[in-house]
């Protein structure tokens, strides 16, 4: 897969070091609590797997799958739940785990939805964020890396469902789009 990348933005080692730092902050912040980590499928699978294993706290994990309605552009902000949480989150300390925040519209909708269910707290941890692509302001407590507004794959992020299993994060070579 390496030949399909134009440029490596973040290596596996850089990602792991940063996730360990985020996990240390989470361990400290949630020390006296019982957090429920909510991953947003599918991209967050890889982040969740590594982040949770850097944690020393025992945590519960649950998953949601969401999809934007309508036009085919994913960032419409109107979201449909494809798979909901398995449990009630009333009174829970929820930490949403994302691979990337692009426009922020998915997350903004999700936070409103989770808070309306009576969670005690809802915070966000994302590996990547594109500040210049933001269409809505979302308060994100844990950010791995702020990156430029360019299309990236790897470490859970896909192009046409491929490249999620790349260990690094990078930009795609143009031959991938044209082949
Ligand atoms: C990605 C990512 C976020 C969302 C961010 O998911 O995992 O959920 O897009 O975009 P936004 O900030 O513009 O709303 P995607 O819809 O690509 O699904 P996937 O995780 O299954 O690849």
103 lines ligand 1 (CB under 6 A): yes
Question: Which pTM does this prediction carry?
Answer: 0.94
> What pLDDT does residue 78 have?
79
How confident is the model at residue 75, as a pLDDT?
61
Instruction: Answer yes or no: 99 catalytic.
Output: no
Query: Which atom of ligand 1 sits closest to the CA of residue 67?
Result: 16
pLDDT at 9: 97
- What is the CA angle 64-70-72, rounded to 5? 85
Per-residue pLDDT at 69: 63
Predicted local distance difference test score (pLDDT) of residue 41: 96
Tokens coding 32: 């006296």
pLDDT tens across the length of the chain (179 residues):
778 899 999 999 999 999 999 999 999 999 999 999 999 999 999 999 999 999 999 999 999 999 876 444 456 667 899 999 999 999 999 999 999 999 999 999 999 999 999 999 999 999 999 999 999 999 999 999 999 999 999 999 999 999 999 999 999 988 887 76
What pLDDT score does 74 carry? 55
Which member of 93, 99, 102, 168 is catalytic?
102
Query: Ligand 1 in contact with 104 (CB < 6 A)?
Result: yes
Atom index in ligand 1 nearest the CA of residue 68 equals 16
Quick check: CB of 129 below 6 Å from ligand 1?
Answer: no
Q: Running DSSP on this structure, what letter comes out for residue 173?
A: P
Q: How far apart are CA 113 and CA 16, in angstroms?
A: 30
Q: Distance, CA 100 to ligand 1 centroid (Å)?
A: 7
């Amino acid at each position: 897969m390496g030949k399909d990348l134009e440029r490596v933005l973040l290596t596996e080692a850089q990602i792991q070091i940063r996730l360990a730092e985020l996990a240390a902050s989470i361990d400290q912040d949630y020390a006296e609590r019982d957090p429920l980590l909510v991953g947003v499928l599918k991209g967050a699978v890889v982040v969740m797997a590594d982040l949770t294993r850097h944690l020393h706290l025992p945590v519960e994990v649950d998953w949601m799958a969401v999809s934007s309605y309508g036009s085919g552009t994913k960032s419409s902000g109107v979201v449909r739940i494809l798979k909901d949480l398995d449990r009630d989150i009333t009174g829970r300390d929820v930490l949403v785990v994302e691979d990337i925040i692009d426009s922020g519209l998915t997350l903004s909708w999700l936070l409103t939805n989770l808070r309306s269910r009576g969670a005690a707290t809802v915070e966000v941890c994302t590996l990547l964020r594109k500040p210049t692509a933001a269409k809505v302001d979302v308060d994100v407590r844990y950010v791995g890396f702020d990156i430029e507004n360019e299309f990236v794959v790897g470490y859970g992020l896909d192009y046409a469902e491929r490249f999620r299993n790349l260990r690094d994060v990078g930009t795609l070579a143009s031959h991938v789009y044209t082949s």
